[in-house]
Amino acid sequence: MTNVNNQRPLYERPILETAFYPSYKHLIQNDQYEEWGGYTTLASFASEGQEYFSVRNTCGVYDICPMLKYRISGPDAERFLNRLMTRNIKKMLPDRVVYSVWCDDNGHLIEDGTLFKFSETEFRLCCAEHQIEWLLDSAIGYDVDIEDVSTDIAALAVQGPVSCSVLKKMGFSGVDNLKPFQLTVFSQLGFEVMISRTGFTGDLGYELWVNSSDAAPLWEALFEAGKSRGIRMIGSTALDMLRIEAGLIMVDVEFMSCFHTVRHLREKNPFELGLHWLVDFNKGPFIGRQALLKAKQNKPQRQLVGLDIDWNKQADSALIYDSKDCSRQIGEITSALWSPVLKQNIALAFLDAPFYEGNKSMWAEVYLHRECLWERKVFECRVTPKPFYSPERKSLTPPEDL
Amino acid sequence: MNSPLNAIIIGAGHNGLTCAAYLARAGQSVLVLEAATEVGGLARNRIVANGEQLSSAAHLLHSLPQNIIKDLQLEKHGLHYAAQHLKTVSLNKDGATIVLNKQLAMGDQLSSADLLGYDRFYLDMQRFSKALLPVLGKVAPEIAIEDWRQKLDLLGLGWSIRKLGTFYMREFLRIIGMNLYDLMDEYIENTQLKAAIAMDALLGSEWGARSMGSVLTYLYRQAGELRNNTGLALPSGGMGTVSQAIAKSARQSGADIRCNSPVKHIIIDNNKAVGVVLETGEKIYADTVISNADPKQTFLKLINPDHLGTNFVRQVNNLRAKGKAGKLHLVLSQKPSFTGLDDSLLGERLVIAPGMDDIELAFNPSKYKRYPDSPILEIILPSVRDDSLCQNGQQLLSAVVQYLPYDDSTDEDQNRTAMLKVIIETLEEYAPGISDLITTAELLTPRDIEREFGISGGHWHHVELVFESFLFNRPTPLLTRHATPIDNLLLCGASCHPGGNVMGIAGRNAAQQVLRGEK
């Protein structure tokens, strides 16, 4: 990992390179760089279409090093996390991963992320935004150690129908037995590789976690094994398409952390995001429980849903109306995609009650830029279940050997 | 669950006892649990040597309101005064003492400008203290709430400030956030006089007279004194008798008070406090649990953090409770004699604070966890007024010592001994020969006070009395109006509005909230 001179002022500090960057930088063809968490990352390497299809048809690899990783250990680790998270962490088995959210005292969403359990006293929390302050303050009164290990650990998401076959070819025998959200550690490469069957694409896929110093040999071995199976680095544009098809929410797109909202009532609770299934009121006390119990008494005023939009133009940032004359706004689209695999115009949208339930008609106001002119179009749309795309292979164990 | 008790009160400090007395009078079954062997908390007596008794922490009564004394019939239950309306006497090494008696300042070295300045200062401060009165006796009203009673209370404060008239309202708003040092400069020149006045803003506080907000702290104390008509009073038999009287009143109304019963933790079920577990393992259940312990003690020690949110714990953890007041107790073989002090004034409140800069110099080291070279002292010789306290012509000396740091170093014991020596040397400068009269001497540092009385940081007011922790923000926005995030758990101690000193209002108001069903 690039050395950062922390003594230099922020504006002079170089943007960081991830542990895998030296390995894949020769694959960058179109210089579509973007900053993510202080790191140089790529919107696409060559062609976002090809990258997208590599995950749906063969195997795409996404560099997730900039994710924040926290090691949470100590005698009270489980109790601490059970209070922090809205899900029941005490039910979690070792070598498992859960997706959960966490809220503040007011039941406002802070972030979502994945929690890895190695033992009752050792966990790893993985998320997109810095949480160290919240974690440390939440640890007051608990015998627990919290350490930011983000730069110590490098990780790749290996996703797609042939991802399991590629990993097996790398020598990770038995990886095909991993069930979704299960993890195991391999050492066939001469160093420890933790593999979890997780991902952000809604497809069959794994995430590989190593010490940052082992990043280069891991990448080499992975791309050597995947060469004949169409392996490809993918950028964030393709990933965004994939996650929308999978109906997965993204921080700062579908919701903003309550730490960052400025305007009154812009905070979200899990119910508004349709994440009722993540909140376990029966597990005992947790942060935000009282506020969420209160919130649960009434149906949310707005909720995030999937939309199916007529016609074929992607409805980015469109406002939703209850009638074609667009007189009353009832919601807005947060993420939109013309889904290549579904051949369907889909979107994630926040809708007011009662429009998020049932099968009511509504209209999306879309602005199209055509030959240097803006045109306003109104397309009919309707609520449709999420995920939009969920192939059987996603949860099949063992996956098909391709 | 079978819960025979209406309320459990944790801690038999004066507020806990007052709360118990008011609840019991309303017919509630109340149990007060006290960790120490005796009731009273900071207002209890302490046997220093051979049965000589002293007020252990607070040694003067000035803010216990008349209506509480009346409601609880405290005089019937043993509250008597050895002396009332004590004067403040600022000692001087060269014998140039200054005597403050309400509006009147006396001292040979005071210029006529000083005397007039003091008169003006006194009257202005009285005026401003009165403006604070409408909210001082009540549960702090919350802002942005649709309750007419609270709105009226807030309006009452607003009206009382507006009622000062345009000139004084502006003046009030100008000075309320100021520091006392600068404000007094506008009135008075003599530094010894200013230092004597400043004592009222500093006692028990973490801060000095040049620290922001010291005017508010000063007015607060003055306002507290407006609520009774005894002035600075010396209860017969020590402050312990005040607590004993409240306890007697509570017992007579049916409250049960158990000493030697430290609470281990509060039992919480589905976000509701339902009882307590004692150190002995005994479980006691009640409809309501009221904690007279400070917020840090209550929420960071007595409650499993699983039940609390991080925003809340953060606020409690950040509460400023850094006590800087120590307590000195001396047994003297005979009456001491202070340079220039007439013997008739020996029973008054004696102050060693030579000047404003001396206060600041005593304060500065404490910021860096160091002890002062020459401390600021508030001295009482209770046995001069109350000969029941001592036998064989012995005399007792009780002094508040500012500013001692919270010392958690390994050298704590040596530091205490060294500091005691410094204090006695300071006393010797003002009362030559006093050190030869000392038969017993002890010093309680803030850390000792924390240990002995179970108060976080050893802070007399539980939480610093400052603007950020004032009215609806006392002790923090999430703990206002005695309520806590846990249902049926209330606070009744000095950390609640109006807080601080031996006042009892917080205890009474907590009882009122319980009786109103606001828990």
pLDDT in tens, B10-33: 999 999 999 999 999 999 999 999
Kindly list the residues from chain A whose CB atom is less than 8 angstroms away from the CB atom of residue B311.
104-106
The SS3 call for residue A332 is strand
Beta-carbon contacts of B511 under 8 Å, excluding residues fewer than 6 positions away, are B18, B19, B20, B21, B22, B23, B26, B492
Q: Do B271 and A289 touch (CB under 8 A)?
A: yes
At A321, the pLDDT band (50, 70, 90 cuts) reads: very high
The better pLDDT of the pair A8, A216 is held by A216
Q: Do B485 and A105 touch (CB under 8 A)?
A: yes
Q: Do B313 and A138 touch (CB under 8 A)?
A: yes
A-B C-beta contacts closer than 8 Å: 42
Tell me the pLDDT tens digit for each residue of B64-112: 999 999 999 999 999 999 999 999 999 999 999 999 998 999 999 999 9
Q: What is the pLDDT, as a whole number, of residue A14?
A: 83
Nearest CA in chain B to A81: B306
pLDDT-above-90 percentage for chain A:
92
Nearest CA in chain A to B304: A141
The better pLDDT of the pair B386, A184 is held by A184
Mean pLDDT of B291-307: 97
Cross-chain CB nearest to B311 (options A105, A285, A289): A105
Nearest CA in chain B to A142: B305
Kindly list the residues from chain B whose CB atom is less than 8 angstroms away from the CB atom of residue A282.
none
Mean pLDDT of B267-283: 97
**B165 CB within 8 Å of a chain A CB:** no
Chain centroid offset of residue B391 CA: 29
Smallest CA–CA separation between A298 and chain B, in Å?
20
Rounded to 5 degrees, what are φ and ψ at B261?
A: -130, 70
Cross-chain CB nearest to B309 (options A79, A141, A288): A288
Tell me the pLDDT tens digit for each residue of B195-245: 999 999 999 899 999 998 899 999 988 988 888 888 899 999 999 999 999
Chain centroid offset of residue B124 CA: 24
Q: Do B309 and A79 touch (CB under 8 A)?
A: no
Cross-chain CB nearest to A137 (options B271, B314, B485): B314
Tell me the pLDDT tens digit for each residue of A326-381: 999 999 999 999 999 999 999 999 999 999 998 888 999 999 999 999 999 999 99
The better pLDDT of the pair B144, B182 is held by B182
Beta-carbon contacts of B282 under 8 Å, excluding residues fewer than 6 positions away, are none
Cross-chain CB nearest to A140 (options B271, B306, B317): B317
pLDDT-above-90 percentage for chain B:
80
Residues A98, A115 contacting (CB under 8 angstroms): yes
Cross-chain CB nearest to A138 (options B271, B300, B310): B310
Residues A178, A206 contacting (CB under 8 angstroms): yes
SS (H, E, C) B81-133: EEECCCCEEECCCCCCCEEEECCEEECCCCCHHHHHHHHHHHHHHHHHHHHHH
Nearest CA in chain A to B299: A141
Of the candidates A21, A57, A19, the one whose C-alpha atom is nearest the C-alpha of residue A42 is A21
Residue B377 reports pLDDT greater than 70: yes
Q: Considering chain B, what is the average pLDDT of its residues?
A: 93
Nearest CA in chain B to A79: B306
At A2, the pLDDT band (50, 70, 90 cuts) reads: very low
DSSP states along B371-426: --SS-EEEEE-HHHH-GGG-STT-EEEEEEEE------STTHHHHHHHHHHHHHHH
Q: What is the pLDDT, as a whole number, of residue B226?
A: 85
Whether this model's pTM surpasses 0.90: yes
d(Cα A8, Cα A19) in Å, to the nearest integer?
22
- Among A386-395, B145-154, B291-300, which is the least confidently predicted range? B145-154
DSSP 8-state code for residue B370: -
Mutate to test the interface with A, among B270, B296, B298, B310 (most CBs of A within 10 A): B310
Q: What is the pLDDT, as a whole number, of residue A6?
A: 58
DSSP 8-state code for residue A105: T
Residues B499, B462 contacting (CB under 8 angstroms): yes
d(Cα B114, Cα B111) in Å, to the nearest integer?
5
d(Cα B339, Cα B374) in Å, to the nearest integer?
18
SS (H, E, C) B218-243: HHHHHHHHHCCCCCCEEECCCCHHHH
Mean pLDDT of B440-450: 95
Of the candidates A241, A273, A240, A274, the one whose C-alpha atom is nearest the C-alpha of residue A258 is A273
Q: What is the pLDDT, as a whole number, of residue B1?
A: 44
Kindly list the residues from chain B whose CB atom is less than 8 angstroms away from the CB atom of residue A104.
309-311
Q: Do B305 and A141 touch (CB under 8 A)?
A: yes
Smallest CA–CA separation between B272 and chain A, in Å?
11
Mean pLDDT of B122-133: 93
pLDDT-above-70 percentage for chain B:
99
Smallest CA–CA separation between B300 and chain A, in Å?
7
Rounded to 5 degrees, what are φ and ψ at A327?
A: -85, -35
The better pLDDT of the pair B449, B134 is held by B449
**B310 CB within 8 Å of a chain A CB:** yes
Q: What is the pLDDT, as a whole number, of residue B3?
A: 55
**B306 CB within 8 Å of a chain A CB:** yes
Q: What is the pLDDT, as a whole number, of residue A12?
A: 78
Residues B29, B519 contacting (CB under 8 angstroms): no
Q: Considering chain A, what is the average pLDDT of its residues?
A: 94
Tell me the pLDDT tens digit for each residue of A50-82: 999 999 999 999 999 999 999 999 999 999 999
Mean pLDDT of A214-228: 97
Of the candidates A83, A106, A30, the one whose C-alpha atom is nearest the C-alpha of residue A259 is A106
Would you tell me how many other CB atoms lie within 10 Å of the CB of residue A5? 8
Kindly list the residues from chain B whose CB atom is less than 8 angstroms away from the CB atom of residue A137.
310, 313-314, 317
Kindly list the residues from chain A whose CB atom is less than 8 angstroms away from the CB atom of residue B312.
105
In chain A, which among 246-305 make CB contacts under 8 A with chain B? Answer: 284-290
d(Cα A380, Cα A324) in Å, to the nearest integer?
8
Cross-chain CB nearest to B309 (options A82, A142, A287): A287
Mutate to test the interface with B, among A83, A259, A286 (most CBs of B within 10 A): A83
Tell me the pLDDT tens digit for each residue of B157-202: 888 888 999 999 999 999 999 999 999 999 999 999 999 999 999 9
Cross-chain CB nearest to A83 (options B300, B306, B485): B306
Q: What is the pLDDT, as a whole number, of residue A10?
A: 67
Mean pLDDT of A145-163: 97
Residues B224, B461 contacting (CB under 8 angstroms): no
Residue B50 reports pLDDT greater than 90: no
Of the candidates A66, A61, A60, the one whose C-alpha atom is nearest the C-alpha of residue A41 is A66
Would you tell me how many other CB atoms lie within 10 Å of the CB of residue B358? 18
Beta-carbon contacts of B211 under 8 Å, excluding residues fewer than 6 positions away, are B179
Q: Beta strand pairing status for B5-10 and B283-291?
A: parallel
Peptide bond preceding B498: is omega within 30 degrees of 0, i.e. cis? yes
Q: What is the pLDDT, as a whole number, of residue A1?
A: 41
DSSP 8-state code for residue A240: H
Q: What is the pLDDT, as a whole number, of residue B133?
A: 87
d(Cα A378, Cα A365) in Å, to the nearest integer?
5
Inter-CA distances, A5 with A11, A241, B237, B263, Å? 12, 36, 67, 52
